[in-house]
Structures are given as structure tokens and as C-alpha cells.
Amino acid sequence: MLARSPRLPLLLAAGAGAAIATVPLVFLLVRVRQVDTDRLWSIVLRPRTIDLITNSLALVGSVTISCMVIGVATAWALARLQLPARPLFVVLAALPLAIPSYVAAFGWMAMVPGIRGFFWSWLVLTAVSCPLVTLPTLAAFSNADHSVVETARSLGRRPARAWCTAMLPQIAPAAAAGGLLVALYVLSEYGAVSALRLSVFTHAIIDNFRTLFGIDAALALALVLVALAVMLVVLERLVRIRGERWRVGSGAPVPPPRIRAGVFTPVAMASLLVVPVVAFGVPVYAMLTGFTAGGRYPLVWSEWLATTGTTLGVAAAGAVVALFVCLPIGALAARHRGRVVSVIEAAGFTGHALPGVVVGLAFVFFALRVAPSLYHTVYILIFAYGVMFLPKAIGAARSSIEQAPPTLTDTARSLGRGPIHAWWSTTGRIATPGIAAGALLVTLTIMKELPATLFLRPADFDTLATKLWGLMNVQDYGAASAYALTLMVVAAVPALLLSRHSGRQD
């Protein structure tokens, strides 16, 4: 049940959050307007820009298609096949979430020296991105009504056609949403493609920004990157709108019997191990080998400890910022409908279409124009983290609050409890686990963020990501291994907690 008109305090709080979410896009557009139009078009249409567009779209397309195929197949196998130790395979399917792409690239470069180019970029990005499709599609398989397939088969359709016409439309929205996340992730990728020497938009934006006369070029390329990201979001929305979910009759979905793979069980199990080995196994082995072999310079343990503490601190602070901004927007979107609510929710998701390198660039202009004293301080970095990953927190808050019937709060109010106490004792308790999962996801993503951190970090300020990146650039693989292993361990904790939360939902 949806309330017709939101209370003014909630509407104002959500509106303020939406305004904060649009800061990067607004300041990027304001700064672009200061560039001469002819100069802007000359940059956008020059052959170098066309080459970057071609490379970026080819990488996005190939990785997204590969992840969609592998992710849907993996989700189907985990949902339908009778496998020993199935919970273990679900955890292994989620494990690449703990691996930043540049760490995976670093591991493969240490194992196979001299690798570079499109193929290796595709391999690394496909392996680390597969869980973005696998996990939501697995949940969709679990919630789908399989009796529809049986009904289609009873009408004379062959098994493959019955599955495509009855089951595929039920999982398509989840798979498309995962594919969108993969496409946006690859489009905004910087670390792995830079390490593997593949020229794409993000690499060119940062290189131009670092030169005195390249600011206009960086802005023009950032604008093209945003346009491509918006096109991807619109495309996914069209697929999601066309996707259908239905059931035969009412009640809970009908779970299908699991399929016995028989002699093919070892083949299925081995296939499910390929992505975790490529994304996780090889990098971990390379880093353990590099760590035991030692580096060019001895590891300073006090510096390592300080960097680890800094990473955890700024990640937690950024998650808190995202949490406070997202709660009014999520509550408004979960309980109300209307044009104003739709605009506020859409504004909150603006960061969904903004790559990290663009957000970092926009916040540089924001700090220089609005608050110069905040430029290159930890405060602007934390604020940028909160805004950048706000969509992840909003999505979790909205879906979690929607699970709590609003009548519970009304009942608590009728028993004499105040508005805040009534909301917290009913909706708050039900929504807290999902909101906490969203905060964990934001924390995990912040710890792995590289391009925005490179743009905004103060002098002599390092996170595990930037420290690792610096050591990789000087090819000190021994010392880099220690930071890479630490980043994987601290990122694995929220990743495993998220997989357990998804398992309980399943």
C-alpha cells in the first residue's frame, strides 16, 4: 500500500539528498559550458577520440556478452543441478567480487610477464565481473515460477522453446540489470586496462587532466563517456520494462526438481571453478609467491598498518555519508508515487551513469569553485565516495523498506508510540538487514575504488588501492603483493557477508 502524499520533512530531506547526488553532473556540465563549442566538437570528432570510442565499446560489448552468457549458465547450474557442496560453489561464484580488476591484472602480469592488449583485458574483466550477473540471476531463478514451463510443454512446445518463452522472460530483467552493472563497470574501468596497456576513455581522461593544456580534452572525453553510460542505462531500462513475470495461479512459486547430472557432474563442477580460478586463484597464487620472494624494497610494516587503517576509515566514513543521504530517498520511493517522487528517485540514481573518473573530475571542479579549502582534503574525498556509490545504498534501502507493510507502523502509532519510535520498532527492524547489506556493498566498493581516489586524495595520502597502484607502476611486485593480499582480505569480509545475506534471501 502506498501513501498518496509524503510528509513535508521527508520530502525536503529526500530532495536535499537528490540535490547532493546531482552535484557531479551539474558541475561537469557547468565546466563544459565554459569550453568553446568549436573546440569541444573538434576534440570529440578527431580520429583519436573515434579510436577510443571503438576500443571502449568493443571491450564493453565483449565483456558484457561474455558475462551474460557465463553468468546465466552459472546461475542455472547452481539453481537446477544436483551438485555436492552447492553452498560452497555459491560462495565461490561470489568470490571475484572481492578482487579489484587491477589486482587480478597484476596477478596475471606477475604470472605471465609481458601480457598486454585487448584479449588479456577482456579475460581479466570478464572473470572479475561475472558475479554481477550470476548473483541476481540466481535469485531470479529461485523466485521464478517453473510451473509456467511445464504448462508450455503441456501445450506441445519443445523443452528449449518452452524454456525460452516461459522462463527466459522471468529472469531477463535480473540478467539485464547485472549486464548493465558489468557494462558500466567496464566503461569506467581504469586500473586493469592501464596496467595492460589498452587505450580507452578513462585512461585518456586522466592523462589529459594531468597536462596543463589537456583540461578541455579531458572534459570533452568525460562528456562522451557520460553519454555512453546514459545510453547503456536507457537500454537496460527498455529491456527491464519489456521483461515479464507471471505465475499460474496464486501462492508461492513452484520449485522445480533438481536435475541429476550423472556422469557429467565432475564436468559441471570443473566448469563452475573456471571463473573463480581465473579471477581469484591465479592472482592469489601470484601474490603469495611474490610476497614470500620479497620485493625490491623491504616492506615497512608501520606504513602498511597505517594504510590499512586509512582504507577502512575512509570506506566506513563514505558508507555512512551514503547511508544518511539514501535513507530519505529510499523511504520516499518505497512508500509514495508521483512525478515529484520519480524525479527525486531518478536524481538519486544519477551516479549510476557516472564513471568514477568522471565523478572525480567533477569534484575537482566543485572543490575549486565552491570550497577551495576542501580541495585535496580527506573531507572532499569522503563526500565524493558517498555521492558516487549512493545508488547502491538507495536501491538496498528502497527494496528493504518495501518489504515492511506500512500498516505495521500505523498499528504502532495507534498504540500510542511516537512517529520515530513507531517507524523504528516496525519498518526499521525489518529493513535494517537489507540496509546494512547495502552499506556493506558501498564499503566494499569504496575500498577498491582507484580513479576517483587518484583525483581527490590529499598529498601523501594513500589507500590500499593507491599504494598498490604506485608499487605496480615501479614493478615492485613483492611489496605490492602485501598490499594486494590485504586489500583482498579486507574486501572479502563484506563480500562473504553479502553472499550470506543473499543466501538467506534465497
pLDDT in tens, 310-340: 999 999 999 999 999 988 888 888 777 788 8
pLDDT at residue 321, rounded to an integer: 93
- Which whole number is the average pLDDT over 417-431? 71
Closest CA to 187 of 144, 240, 224: 224
Instruction: Give the chain's domains with CATH numbers.
Output: 1-33+294-506 (1.10.3720.10), 35-252+261-281 (1.10.3720.10)
Alpha-carbon separation of residue 292 from 295, 298, 359, 480, 481 (angstroms): 9, 12, 38, 12, 9
Chain segment 287-318, per-residue pLDDT in tens? 888 777 765 667 778 888 999 999 999 999 99
| Higher per-residue pLDDT: 403 or 377 | 377
Q: What is the DSSP string of 120-139?
A: HHHHHHHHHHTHHHHHHHHH
Q: Is it the case that residue 251 has pLDDT exceeding 60? A: no
> Which residues are CB-contacts of 465 (< 8 A; sequence separation ≥ 6)?
100, 102, 191, 311, 447, 448, 449, 450, 453, 487
Q: Is it the case that residue 491 has pLDDT exceeding 70? A: yes
pLDDT at residue 2, rounded to an integer: 53
- Which whole number is the average pLDDT over 398-410? 72
Alpha-carbon separation of residue 468 from 227, 317, 451, 480, 482 (angstroms): 31, 21, 13, 5, 9
Q: Is it the case that residue 62 has pLDDT exceeding 80? A: yes
pTM over 0.75? The answer is yes
Q: Is it the case that residue 243 has pLDDT exceeding 80? A: no
| Higher per-residue pLDDT: 469 or 154 | 469
| Higher per-residue pLDDT: 447 or 164 | 447
How would residue 120 be classed by pLDDT, with cut points 50, 70 and 90?
A: very high
Alpha carbon distance 167, 163 (integer Å): 5
pLDDT at residue 274, rounded to an integer: 94
pLDDT at residue 38, rounded to an integer: 82
Lowest mean pLDDT: which of 29-33, 247-251, 326-330? 247-251
pLDDT at residue 61, rounded to an integer: 93
The burial of 194, by beta-carbon neighbours within 10 Å (0-12 exposed, 13-18 middle, 19 or more buried), is given as buried
Lowest mean pLDDT: which of 17-21, 31-35, 232-236, 451-455? 232-236
How would residue 254 be classed by pLDDT, with cut points 50, 70 and 90?
A: low
